[in-house]
Structure 1
Amino acid sequence: MREKIHIYHTNDVHSHFEKWPRIRKFLKERKALHEANGEDVFIFDCGDFVDRWHSFTEGTLGKGNVELLNDAGYTAVTLGNNEGLTLPHDVLNHLYDEADFEVLAANVYLAGGTRPSWALPYQIFKSSRGTKIGVTAATAYYRPLYKLLGWELSEPLAELEKQIAELQKQADIIIVLSHLGMDDDETIAENNPRVDLILGGHTHHVFMNGKKVNHTTLGAAGRYGEYIGYVKAEVDKGPFFWKNFTASLVDTAILDNPPNAGEYIKDLEEIGKDLLQTEVVTLPEPLNYSWAEQSELPAILCEALYKWCKADCALINSGLILSALEKGKVTKYDLHQMLPHPINPCVVELSGAELEEVLHISEDSGLSDLEFQGLGFRGVMMGKLVYHEIEYDKDNGSIKVAGKPIVREKTYSLATLDMFTFGVFLPPIKNARRKIYYLPEFVRDLMEWELKTRYL
């Protein structure tokens, strides 16, 4: 007799809760409907559900996100790089203490090589008719960064092959939850024909009706809760075992919004705001910012980065600053609103000639007007590049570092933002021969440190 199994999935929500009331309502209603018809339902998230740009996530350090997943009835989740790399070790180690769902992360280990108690390499779920559904998962291979936080990662494709081989012995259906990106998902499908379904994320790709790679179905639902993935699995365990997977996406923009949606979203913001009311400093005067010209707050942040990293010089983009600070009490909430980005400090080593190239690009390429989001940046536009201990006279082309003319053959340490080492904006920084990352500190932590130094 043919069996229907219903699978729903999300990925890369990034704490964008504006559509969460619709997603929550839809998942609860669908689950109730299918179960009333005697059919099984599984709900998965493929990582980056947590993002500390939102005050609710920042204030609860992700535990509030876990409560939301519990409430919506999720079956299992995997880690994205936002869960893995933006939370201090102890916070991540206890993030899922109250989870009502399984956490699957086959390639995440403690520094000694043992698995954390909360991260399973795979799990086998049974349908009401006895069909065994084996699920494994892996997260993106940022091994050096995880190592700085006290974690170890195994290479995800090799790790998944081990888990898939194990599941082949035990399961009727094999599912991979992937936070690896589209290219790796296709590689998994090509190399592991026994995998039935790969639900993916990380690269924010969209498969409106799934994608077939050999015998494997791939599903992906974009980002920010724009879509909910749905896969109808049909299984017949008769004389000739048969299974079929049909993938589609549900556009959350056209779903009914619950009557209290606006209040629900506001409540999440208020919870975060209340938890972040700790006073940092009291300012004797306001501090302002501009994305187009020199201003106080970007200069303060750039100097803080320079001092924190003990570098020769520093560079940031003024677009990091999203709000001014008023005279009087400044709270952690104020700093979070000003600097919501999960961006870490970084030092790169550049030759004088490479540093010159960076400055030419930053001043002459129109980079300051670029509008973008990603790589940890949660702002609007890049904004003017701001320097500390760098003087650049565009009229005559002269450059000084720490008051002395730049030497093209000399090696300089430049304090900057990790996003510049990941993106293509400033190639000499991306391609720097040595990079030193500072985790888990965010740029707002450095701003807090600098303001306390100046005003306490």
Structure 2
Amino acid sequence: MEQFVEKIHIYHTNDLHSHFESWPQISRYLLTQQAIHANASETSFRFDIGDHVDRSHPFTEGTAGKGNVALLNSAGYDAVTIGNNEGITLSKNALNTLYEGADFDVILCNLVETDGSIPKWMKLYKIYSTVEGTRVGVIGATAMYTDFYSKLGWHIHEPHAALKAVVEKIRHEVDILICLSHLGVNEDRLLAEVCPEIDVILGAHTHHLFPEGELVHHSLLAATGKFGQYVGRVTLEVDTKSNRLLKKEATVIPVGDLASGKDDVHEVNGLLNAGQIALDEKVFFIETPLKQQLFANSSLATFFGQALLAYTHADCAMFNAGIFLRSLEQGWVTKRHLHELLPHPINVCVVTLRGEELLRVYHTAQNEQWPQLEIKGLGFRGTLMGNMIFEQLAMNGDGHLLVGSEIVQTDHIYRLATLDMFTFGYFFPMLKDVEKEYVMPELIRDIMAWYGKREMMESLGLLEENE
């Protein structure tokens, strides 16, 4: 029987993290390819696999991520799924309103309201029809940060089970199944094993790059690394008589090889300027400068440590000096200053420890190699760890650990305020499974702003007694 072959072209991006420096080239390439395929009467799709939003960029912060949505609109995206940056660095209200102006579908099957209902901004799946009538089912899932989502008022389902349930529901209604997976490379490989009905898994989260894809059983895995360095392209060939998938290939296009336009730099700088203008709002006034020190304690670190204790009512605090990316000069501190100081999407976490556990944490933090350690990921947007800083936690001359002025008792319970990145097990394995409470949705710069306002109001005699 004669074969009639349809070509379907899929373009995908992931983990841009608001690195807009190459966005003009990416957008122009996607729109150009869309026009080329349309002129050839061929179907093409454009998908983003999450973490397009990153609050470390002033444009994203100043627009609460809506600027990112506008950029996706302008590049003609058909659908996206969310990453952890969209999901857990935005408040619930900010995520609920993020996609109000979207011209694309948000496809996600494992995030629901606490009562089990589906948020109005998302779809569990979408079935698209190509020029030749091939039915393309698109599903999506995001990484399972249970504690964070719960604290924000969401319920996150185990992604593999959620995806398999959707596949079971729609597999007889589609000819091709594509998954937008912000789960990570190992989870994608496992998904290909447990759900072989999925033809293509477009990956993200772990910033992995597959220059020619990776075939795991029946499924083709594709991913483009991070920061907009590549655009992914998957080409499918389908027998339109039998609706059978004949061929699938993956490749990546280096964005650095794409042509630049004369206005590209102006466009990128315009995003930065728009963000800075949006953040140019006075927050609090300081009488004396708060200076940054990477390898020593500082007035800035003391101010921040006191902010953590005041906000959380913890007994002591621990954080690294590398979180501070600038100093604060005397005068008005604006939202922009605080964003430049603490661009990290990092939350505070209060961990409950016995005295002997607190002592172990303190000794672990004395690692002499840590101050010069370069940190990547975990929400950290600086470079080096810097010295570990303690507030109301110190060793006295007799070798006893003190919380305030009291010697730590091994069987007593203490509450330590720290950064969420120290509770994931990478630096302090003992903190991974202890009792903890994440402070959300406030990021560390929000707590700094709260404390600065409070101190200013108190100095003016305007602070209410219980405030």
Residue 179 of structure 2: aligned partner: 176
Deviation digits for residues 274-328 of structure 1 (CA, Å, limit 9, x no counterpart): 1111101222222111111111112211111112111111101111110111222
> How many residues of Structure 1 are paired with residues of Structure 2 in the alignment?
454
**Structure 2 matches for 1:253-402, cutoff 5 A?**
253-393=256-396, 397-402=399-404
Question: Secondary structure, in 3 states, of the residue corresponding to 1:420?
Answer: helix
Distance 1:356 1:28 in 2: 58
Tell me the amino acid that sits aligned with residue 23 of structure 2: W
The residue that corresponds to 1:106 in the other structure is 109
Moved more, 83-92 or 56-65: 83-92
8 A contact 1:124–1:171 mirrored in 2: yes
Q: Secondary structure of 2:23's match? A: helix
Which of 9, 12, 20 is the matching residue for 1:9? 12
Comparing 56-65 with 421-430, greater Cα deviation is found at: 421-430
- Determine if contact 1:25/1:258 at 8 Å carries over to the other structure: no
Against the structure 1 CA distance between its residues 97 and 239, is the aligned structure 2 distance closer, same or farther, given a 3 Å change threshold? closer
Contact 1:280–1:452 (CA<8 Å) still a contact in 2? yes
Q: SS in structure 1 opposite 2:9? A: strand
1:81 aligns with 2:84: yes
Once the two structures are overlaid, the 10-residue window that deviates more, 136-145 or 395-404, is 395-404
Q: Hey, what's the Cα distance between the residues in 1 that align with 2:17 and 2:398?
A: 45
User: Which is worse superposed, 20-29 or 205-214?
Assistant: 20-29
In 2, Cα distance between equivalents of 1:117 and 1:449: 32
| Partner SS, residue 366 of structure 2 | helix
Q: Distance in 2 between matches of 1:240 and 1:168?
A: 13
- CA distances 1:103-127 after superposition (whole Å, capped 9, x unpaired): 0011111121110111100000010
CA spacing shift, 1:242–1:374, aligned 2, 3 Å: closer
Q: Deviations 1:351-379 (Å, cap 9, x if unpaired)?
A: 22222222222223421211112111101
Please show how residues 33-48 of structure 1 align to structure 2 within 5 Å: 33-48=36-51
Cα pair distance change 1:214/1:407, threshold 3 Å: same
Partner of residue 54 from structure 1, selected from 54, 57, 65: 57
State whether structure 2 residue 419 is matched by structure 1 residue 417.
yes
Q: CA deviation at 1:39?
A: 1.0
Secondary structure at the counterpart of residue 365 of structure 2: helix
8 Å CA contact retained: 2:323, 2:385: yes
Map of 1:211 onto structure 2: 214
Q: 1:375 to 1:239 in 2, by over 3 A?
A: closer
Contact 2:423/2:431, CA 8 A, preserved across alignment: yes
Distance 1:114 1:239, change over 3 A: closer
Mean Cα deviation higher: 398-407 or 130-139: 398-407
1:32 aligns with 2:30: no
CA distance in 1, matches of 2:389, 2:120: 44
Q: Secondary structure at the match of 1:363?
A: coil
| 1:77-105 deviation line (CA, Å, top 9, x unaligned) | 00111111111111111111110000001
Larger displacement relative to structure 2 (201-210 or 365-374): 365-374
CA deviations on 1:4-45 (whole Å, 9 max, x unpaired) are: 111000111111111211211111111111211111110001
Equivalent-residue separation in structure 2 for 1:162 and 1:295 (angstroms): 53
Contact 1:108 1:119 in 2 (8 A): no
Which amino acid in 1 is paired with 2:455? R
Amino acid in structure 1 at the alignment position of 2:29: F
Number of the residue aligned with 1:231: 234
Are the counterparts in 1 of residues 176 and 245 from structure 2 also a CA contact under 8 Å?
Answer: no
Structure 2 unmatched ranges of 5 or more: 458-467
2:155 maps to 152
Instruction: Identify the residue that residue 249 of structure 2 maps to in structure 1.
Output: 246
Match of 2:180, SS state, is strand
Residue 340 of structure 1 deviates from its aligned partner by 0.5
Taking structure 2 as the reference length, the TM-score comes to 0.95
Is the Cα–Cα contact under 8 Å of residues 375 and 423 in structure 1 kept in the other structure? no
Q: Is the 8 A contact 1:355 1:428 kept in 2?
A: no
Structure 2 partner of 1:70: 73
Structure 2 match to 1:122:
125
- Number of the residue aligned with 1:403: 405
TM-score (norm 1): 0.97
Deviations 1:202-247 (A, max 9, x none): 1111111100011110011111111111101111123583431100
Once residues 194 and 92 of structure 1 are traced to their aligned partners in structure 2, the CA distance between those partners, rounded to angstroms, is 31
For 1:223, give the aligned amino acid.
K
Query: 2-side partners of 1:240 and 1:452: how far apart?
Result: 63
- Separation of aligned partners in 1, 2:422 and 2:245: 49
Number of the residue aligned with 2:463: none
Tell me the amino acid that sits aligned with residue 453 of structure 1.
R
Q: Identity rate of aligned residues, in percent?
A: 44
Q: For residues 430 and 225 of structure 1, what CA distance do their matches in structure 2 show?
A: 32
More deviation, 52-61/304-313: 304-313
Q: Rate the CA distance shift 1:437–1:239 in 2: closer, same or farther, 3 A.
A: closer
Do 2:175 and 2:243's aligned partners in 1 also have CA atoms closer than 8 Å? no
For the residue of structure 1 that corresponds to 2:15, the secondary structure is coil
Once residues 123 and 264 of structure 1 are traced to their aligned partners in structure 2, the CA distance between those partners, rounded to angstroms, is 33
Corresponding residue for residue 162 of structure 1: 165
- CA–CA distance in 2 between the matches of 1:254 and 1:355? 52
Q: Displacement, 1:396?
A: 5.3
Q: CA RMSD in A?
A: 1.3
